[in-house]
Amino acid sequence: MKNTMLPIITLLTLGTLAQAADPADAQWEKMFEVMHDLPKSPKDSQLERLKLLIDQGADVNAAIGFDRMLREGETRADLRGTTWPLDVAVQQARVDMVKLLLVKGAKFHGGELAQAALAGNQDESLAMITALLLAGADVNSRRLFQGGCAAHDYGFTALFWAGYKGNKNSVKLLLAQPGIKLDETSDEGDTALMAAAEHGHADIVEMLLKAGANVSITDKAGETAITRAQKTLVKQQPIIEKQQAIISKLQYPPK
């Protein structure tokens, strides 16, 4: 899934950059530029730029994205932070930058672990989840959607996203964490078991069931993990039938 709000948050932040005249804001502006790789630089160079900026005293816990643009007479202190360096590093799946920021004392704001589980590359996702857990991230924390003046909690945990993505190693790691909530539901009633079942990740379904996940939970639409799996099968049936016909033709070619 693509984070469509990041460009909007970037624009809001650029609006504050354009109006920031205080020299004390220089490091904050530089942090924004480094985290969003402005101007574009080689991968290793971005990490080195971040290291240098931190060595120069930049605050890794200063917000670099806000809920709105500055109004006349306001300062950044009047705005509500919505994005921090650690958030951006996780969104970009920059494992090296995530580890650096954590070592330098970056704090959690709630959605980093779930965002890490959403990463497209499974190895990078696992590496970020591991680093975040070692740093004390809440295994049941939810991914927040930041937009406008409010943050909406969809309730998707790291376990949900790992199950959705089919990342067995991440699921295994998360299940081993004390206090993991197997049946945590989202706002719409989704569970990790439903996500894995719907997307055909049989190994993860088995892992969750062995851990004690509840098969009978229903979402707000009245669906269960079983009915979701059944719907997926129905959708795939035409493809299965076509493939069976192809196999039959290959096995018994027309004369």
Averaged over 223-250, what is the pLDDT?
93
Separation of alpha carbons 94 and 75, rounded Å: 30
What is the per-residue pLDDT for 208? 98
Q: 43-57 pLDDT, tens per residue?
A: 779 999 999 999 999
Question: What's the chain look like in SS3?
Answer: CCCCCHHHHHHHHHHHHHHCCCHHHHHHHHHHHHHCCCCCCCHHHHHHHHHHHHHCCCCCCCCCEECCCCCCCCCHHHCCEEECHHHHHHHCCCHHHHHHHHHCCCCCCCCHHHHHHCCCCHHHHHHHHHHHHHCCCCCCCEEEEEECCEEEEEEEEHHHHHHHHCCHHHHHHHHCCCCCCCCCCCCCCCCHHHHHHHCCCHHHHHHHHHHCCCCCCCCCCCCCHHHHHHHHHHHHHHHHHHHHHHHHHHHCCCC
Judged against a pLDDT cut of 90, whether residue 167 lies above it is answered with yes
Judged against a pLDDT cut of 90, whether residue 158 lies above it is answered with yes
Residue 162, Cβ density class (10 Å: 0-12 exposed, 13-18 middle, ≥19 buried): buried
Residue in 177, 173, 229, 171 with CA at minimum distance from that of residue 200: 229
Q: 137-153 pLDDT, tens per residue?
A: 999 998 755 444 344 45
Averaged over 58-69, what is the pLDDT?
91
What percent of the chain has pLDDT above 90? 67
What is the per-residue pLDDT for 110? 87
* Domain edges within the chain: 1-107
Question: What's 85-115 look like in SS3?
Answer: HHHHHHHCCCHHHHHHHHHCCCCCCCCHHHH
Q: Say if pTM beats, i.e. exceeds, 0.85.
A: no
- The CATH label, of 3.30.390, 1.10.3470, 2.60.40, 1.25.40, for the domain at 1-107 is 1.25.40
Separation of alpha carbons 78 and 89, rounded Å: 25
Asked whether 133 and 161 are in contact (CB, 8 A), the reply is: no
